[in-house]
Amino acid sequence: MPTPKIKRGYRKTRYILYKETLVDYKEHFWSFLGSFVGIGILSYLQSIHFSGNDMVYLIGSFGASSVLIYGIIQSPFSQPRNLIGGHLISAFIGVTVNKLVPDIVWIAAPLAVSLSIIFMQITKTLHPPGGATALIAVTASSQIKDLGYMYVISPVLIGVLILFITALIFNNMTSSRSYPSHSTYHKHYHKIRKRLVRK
């Protein structure tokens, strides 16, 4: 990658992170509420469907995704394409690597993470927590490994959709928060809300 592109990307990332430090207490409230509800729903599903110590619905990468989609909502990594695509691609790769190299963790773990990074880059769906989703598929307990490709559907797809829908609701509650960025969803959301309030 040429040096000017790297420098431009670095400047853009610094600007986005700086902008996120300027948010006021109201924005903190919506970040807290959105992440609380999103992770809370996943926790509730976990308590209903699974017992024991293994948190199938609460995979660690969802916590990292919550930081991005509720706390740094303008980041390119937080956008729906990256959130959903990054997790699904990484989950699929993680399960595939686990099936091909099931008992050699020192090969399976780095291979799953590295391949997920490459495929997220190729598909323009780079989402940093995706690397953890791939890693979980090869290093988790047998309860998760036994899911096979169902891991891609549940918990990954279902969990990501719950986080995404929650983000759509709570990240558009105020006029200063707009998610996804560069979309007309925010305007439509507020038009519908005003119509409902009038009735």
In a domain, 155, yes or no: yes
Bigger pLDDT: 110 vs 24: 110
Bigger pLDDT: 46 vs 153: 153
Predicted pLDDT at 15: 67
Euclidean distance between CA atoms 176 and 53, whole angstroms? 40
Predicted pLDDT at 20: 57
Euclidean distance between CA atoms 167 and 66, whole angstroms? 9
Euclidean distance between CA atoms 189 and 179, whole angstroms? 11
pLDDT at position 148 over 90: yes
What are 122-147's pLDDT values in tens digits?
999 999 999 999 999 999 888 888 89
> Which residues are within 8 A (CB) of 57 and not within 5 positions of it... i.e. 6 or more apart?
42, 43, 45, 46, 49, 50, 154, 155, 158, 159
In a domain, 184, yes or no: no
Task: Answer positive or negative: Cα dihedral of 57, 58, 61, 67.
Answer: positive
Is 60 buried (19+), middle (13-18) or exposed (0-12) by CB count in 10 A? middle
14-28, 31-45, 92-106, 125-139: least confident range: 14-28
Average pLDDT of the segment spanning 9-32: 72
* pLDDT grade for 189, boundaries at 50, 70 and 90: low
Average pLDDT of the segment spanning 34-57: 82
pLDDT at position 185 over 70: no
Is the pTM value of this prediction over 0.75?
A: yes
Bigger pLDDT: 158 vs 18: 158
Predicted pLDDT at 10: 73
pLDDT at position 16 over 70: no
In a domain, 199, yes or no: no
Euclidean distance between CA atoms 110 and 126, whole angstroms? 17
Which one-letter DSSP state was computed for residue 77?
A: G
* pLDDT grade for 17, boundaries at 50, 70 and 90: low
CA distances from 55 to 22, 59, 97, 142, 176 (A): 35, 7, 21, 12, 35
Residue span of the structural domain in which 126 resides: 25-177
In a domain, 77, yes or no: yes
**Pair of tokens at residue 97:** 């690597």
In a domain, 150, yes or no: yes
Supply angle C-alpha 151, 156, 160, rounded to 5: 170
In a domain, 29, yes or no: yes
Predicted pLDDT at 137: 95
How many domains is the chain built from?
1
